[in-house]
Structure 1
Amino acid sequence: MNPLLSAEQALIGSVLLDPRQLSHLDWLAPDHFYLPAHQALFAALRTLRDDAHPALSQEPVPLSWVSDAVEAASTHTRGLTATYAHTLVAACPRPAHAPVYGRMVLEGAIHRSITEHATRLHQAARADALQGEVEQALHYADVLAGVLSDLAQRWGTEPRPATPTIPPTTVPAAPAPVLADQAAEDERLLLAVLAEEPKAMDGVVGWLRPGDFADPAHGQLYRCLGALHHRGEPIDRVTLLWEAQRRGLLADGTLSGDQFTAICDGVGPGSAEWLGELVMRSSVTRTAATSARDIRALAQNEALAPGPLIGHALHALGRLDEVRARWQAANGGPASTPTAPAPSPIGPPSTQVHAALARSTPPAFTPSLGRPRAATSPAAVPPLSRGQASEKQRRQFVR
């Protein structure tokens, strides 16, 4: 049994039984349904409502409401018959529960939409890595951020980044051997130039971080260079090796003596800023691919509600925002705008409030039986003295 399919069938069945339920489903769109037949039926039912179908004013609902909807929807999809329409009617337990069924349909659409756009971002990041570019990855990251903001408004929540309590279980995708070899070579050349020309650190230290290196050993060695530069100490292969030893890189096996020798002996003419931009470009595409995989793993978790899902997805995109800002600083570009819109200081927009209220109906207030008791103002109750408070606590403990 598929819960999403059952929810879609129950929703269409509720509208076939009671056309007035469409007035509670204005926040739901036909493309939120998974099955094309359900999309066509919901669009046809809306069109009949907008055209003032006679069934809207008749009680009980005539059979023409169902037959006209099937006939209109059949022009957009194949295999739709009146028999299936009666199956949908039988699948609806309570027509009055249509807003709840619609919430389930919207929840499924949110998971599917985020999965699709995260997949596109991952594909764009991989393609940019092959071509040595970042534009497509950043473009699809902005598209995904816009989709998350729109889905948050439809669901009735604020698009705020939220750190997941349990990180998504994703297996890091191994880069292509050619890409890994090229990225490692660029990193080795950059470290060799920085070790040979200490003044070159001034050109990259402002925007290049150890986490931008694909090889953890290279990132730790760059951290050693940054520490020497920050303390104003001389930088050469001896001081760099000593700093690596002090940080335990040689003892724990992060950096071997052969690796260190290969880096320091592989120096040649080169620009530290240009090599740093190559490392940053690789970091942008790598971060975009990692964020996309994390978001896709979150969206495929059906137990995650749409609100937390959107917040966790925005949090994953935040990592890319930070790398993008430093990439633009390396290229002398303007600061990037964050993908996640800032929350309104005066509360959520009215459209979000309407969406949240439309998805459910608050229960009617039931007055309590018996004699009403007058509310006691806190100011009218005299505070207990220290002795009275202690005696009261002692009595509660004895009980």
Structure 2
Amino acid sequence: MNPLMSAEQAVLGAALLDPEQLTHLEWLAADHFYRPVHQALFDALRKLRNDGHPALSADGPLPLSWVTDAVEEAGQHVRGLTAAYAHTLIQACPRTEHAPVYGRMVLEGAIHRTVAQHAIRLHQAARADAVQGEVEGALRTADVLTGVLTDLARRWGTEPRPVPPTAGPSAATHIPPPAQSGQVAEDERFLLAVLTEQPAAMDEVVAWLRPGDFADPTHGQLYRCLGALHHRGEPIDRITLLWEAQRRGLLADGTVSSEQLTAVGEGMVPGSADWFGQRVMRSSVTRTAAASARAVRALAEDEALAPGRLINYALHALGPLDEVRARWETANASPAPKTRTSAPVPDGPPPAQVHVALARSTPRPIPPSSVRPASAPTPSASRPPSRGHS
């Protein structure tokens, strides 16, 4: 038999045999039980206890009315519950004094089940937002999942804090990632084209857009090349982009092809880097939310993972979404670039930063020891005079 079902039957059997055990299960809720009939019966037992059932004050053996009244009360909310099943629950309880332990088993199963359910909802919200071009649904569902994890941690008696797992979850992530539409790849190509043809536009996105925000890894590598050129204060165009890609070995290992670079260089369309960047960022938010949801669900489906570790590992799995969300909010809060009315200010990083970045490519002066002696003849002095001239 399923251990979780055995634990649910045992804790209910303990409460039917000894109503006093309910005082040790105040932290357990009816919705922590998996089967609806168990939920209804636990609610009924707690209600009879709170209403002061006569069986609680009776001397001697526990009256049978405690069991029959509990079955009758629960039967008003669920079908199929009989007195015979109540006696089955009583027989399933080895020791009534172990009720808190059985209840903890029920709570442990509820934690795994609840985390998995909310992870599925987050994944569904992320997929829906990806189709609709929104992020609010995924972020709202992620907040709900964080609140659920915090509440479950308090019920379990642990402090909620993100902790990286020592090893990957044993459960396989069988939920496929959201399909990337052609519009996402087109937005990324247009953004790279704008940044290549308008180098000053890098200032609009460099503070919040990262290479990992691109759905196409090749586009992310090209953006990394543009960022490196911008950081060093070097000129940006399709030739320097090609050169930087070659320096990083992207052409040699096949990461970037000449056709892809040509598509970026010839795909220039009028547009705003900030606008295209926010579209790329929006796709990154939903994609990261879906990945976090898959990771959390895989953790929840690992039955060998203790509840405390599950909660803390799940909070850590939501960390990448929190980081992307912070940059998304920065992108939406960033003011539009101001029109310059005074003397133009050089584009790019400060001169000191540019000097440091270019120091490695600056020719070094020849040491004095390597200078030729003054007595050595120069090339002009050693060359014989041309014939026919006096």
TM-score class, shorter: 0.7 to 0.9
Q: State how far apart, in whole Å, the 2-side matches of 1:12 and 1:115 are.
A: 25
TM-superposed deviation, 1:55: 1.9
How is 1:129-144 mapped onto 2 (pairs within 5 angstroms)? 129-144=130-145
Name the amino acid aligned to 1:49: R
Query: 1:208 and 1:171, CA in 2 relative to 1: closer, same or farther beyond 3 A?
Result: farther
Indicate if the aligned counterparts of 1:172 and 1:290 stay in contact, CA closer than 8 A: no
Within the candidate set 173, 178, 185, 2:176 is matched to: 173
2:375 match: none
Asked if 1:10 is matched to 2:10, the reply is yes
Asked if 1:252 is matched to 2:253, the reply is yes
Indicate if the aligned counterparts of 2:282 and 2:328 stay in contact, CA closer than 8 A: yes
Name the amino acid aligned to 1:35: R
Higher mean alpha-carbon deviation, 163-172 vs 242-251, is at: 163-172
Q: State how far apart, in whole Å, the 1-side matches of 2:317 and 2:19 are.
A: 42
TM-superposed deviation, 1:252: 1.3
Name the amino acid aligned to 1:185: E
TM-superposed deviation, 1:53: 1.4
Q: What stretches of structure 2 of length at least 5 have no aligned partner?
A: 336-390
1:35 match: 35
SS at match of 1:301: coil
Q: State how far apart, in whole Å, the 1-side matches of 2:331 and 2:36 are.
A: 47
Name the amino acid aligned to 2:173: T
1:397 match: none
How is 1:230-309 mapped onto 2 (pairs within 5 angstroms)? 230-309=231-310
Q: State how far apart, in whole Å, the 1-side matches of 2:225 and 2:181 are.
A: 23
What is the number of equivalent residue pairs in this alignment? 332
2:373 match: none
How is 1:91-130 mapped onto 2 (pairs within 5 angstroms)? 91-130=92-131
Indicate if the aligned counterparts of 2:28 and 2:103 stay in contact, CA closer than 8 A: yes
- Cα deviation 1:374-398 (Å, max 9, x = unaligned): xxxxxxxxxxxxxxxxxxxxxxxxx
Q: Runs of 4+ in structure 1 displaced over 4 angstroms?
A: none
1:50 match: 50
Indicate if the aligned counterparts of 1:114 and 1:148 stay in contact, CA closer than 8 A: yes
SS at match of 1:331: helix
Indicate if the aligned counterparts of 2:177 and 2:290 stay in contact, CA closer than 8 A: no
2:371 match: none
Indicate if the aligned counterparts of 1:207 and 1:326 stay in contact, CA closer than 8 A: yes
Indicate if the aligned counterparts of 1:186 and 1:278 stay in contact, CA closer than 8 A: yes
Name the amino acid aligned to 2:37: A
TM-superposed deviation, 1:333: 7.1
Q: TM-score, normalised by structure 2?
A: 0.83
Q: TM-score, normalised by structure 1?
A: 0.81
TM-superposed deviation, 1:173: 2.1
- Cα deviation 1:344-389 (Å, max 9, x = unaligned): xxxxxxxxxxxxxxxxxxxxxxxxxxxxxxxxxxxxxxxxxxxxxx
Asked if 1:75 is matched to 2:76, the reply is yes
- Cα deviation 1:261-289 (Å, max 9, x = unaligned): 11111112111000000000000000011
Q: State how far apart, in whole Å, the 1-side matches of 2:52 and 2:175 are.
A: 55
Q: State how far apart, in whole Å, the 2-side matches of 1:175 and 1:2 are.
A: 34
Greater Rg by CA:
2
1:197 match: 198
Q: State how far apart, in whole Å, the 2-side matches of 1:61 and 1:305 are.
A: 37
State, as a whole percentage, how many aligned pairs show the same letter.
74
Indicate if the aligned counterparts of 2:162 and 2:314 stay in contact, CA closer than 8 A: yes
TM-superposed deviation, 1:236: 1.1
